[in-house]
């Protein structure tokens, strides 16, 4: 059990570093960890999925060079940025505040029913799983408390 505790502590430390870097940027409103790690499900890939809400849409170059600004190789895969930090594979999904909350509202109202194809998900992006990830997300910071309100 001690090794498992050390595993989570190391990843939590890396998440803290990445989140603090994002928090200093005025265009970043919210940083949360979603998926298996937020639920403390051990993943063979040793990966952490991060959901970041921004004030406005950010270009690929802005995210890569100014927001992430990492020396590690950054790859764009489908709709997420991937990078390896401290031997942990991170995925970063950036969403503009307006688009994200409008999309979530439409999902919750049942206005979007079709499955969205995603190369990284078996069967595509299933809306119930997306909403479940929001509900179980570990919020690292939420400057306007909008993401926090979704969980309540």
Please write the tens of the pLDDT for every residue from 33-67: 988 888 777 655 568 889 999 999 988 778 877 77
More confident residue, 59 or 112: 59
pLDDT, position 77:
75
Q: How far is CA 103 from CA 41, 87, 127, in A?
A: 27, 33, 10
In this predicted structure, the answer to whether residue 6 has a pLDDT above a threshold of 50 is yes
Residue 90 and residue 70: Cα distance in Å, rounded? Answer: 12
What 3 state SS string does 14-62 have? HHHHHHHHHHCCCCEEEEEEECCCCCCCCCCCCEEEEEEEECCCCCHHH
More confident residue, 9 or 8: 9
Q: Which of 67, 71, 70, 68 is nearest to 55 (CA)?
A: 67
pLDDT, position 46:
66
């Amino acid at each position: 059990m001690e090794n498992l505790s050390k595993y989570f502590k190391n990843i939590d430390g890396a998440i803290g570093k990445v989140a603090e870097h994002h928090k200093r940027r005025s265009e970043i409103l919210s940083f949360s960890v979603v998926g298996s790690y937020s639920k403390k499900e051990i993943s063979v890939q040793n990966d952490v999925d991060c959901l970041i809400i921004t004030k406005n849409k950010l270009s690929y170059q802005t995210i890569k060079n100014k927001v992430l600004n990492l020396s590690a190789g950054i790859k764009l895969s489908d709709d997420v940025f991937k990078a390896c930090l401290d031997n942990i594979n991170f995925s970063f999904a950036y969403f503009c505040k307006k688009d994200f909350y409008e999309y979530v509202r439409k999902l919750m109202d049942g206005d979007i029913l079709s499955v969205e194809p995603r190369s990284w998900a078996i069967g595509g992006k299933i809306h119930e799983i997306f909403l479940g990830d929001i509900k179980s997300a570990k919020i690292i910071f939420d400057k306007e408390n909008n993401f926090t309100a979704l969980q309540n």
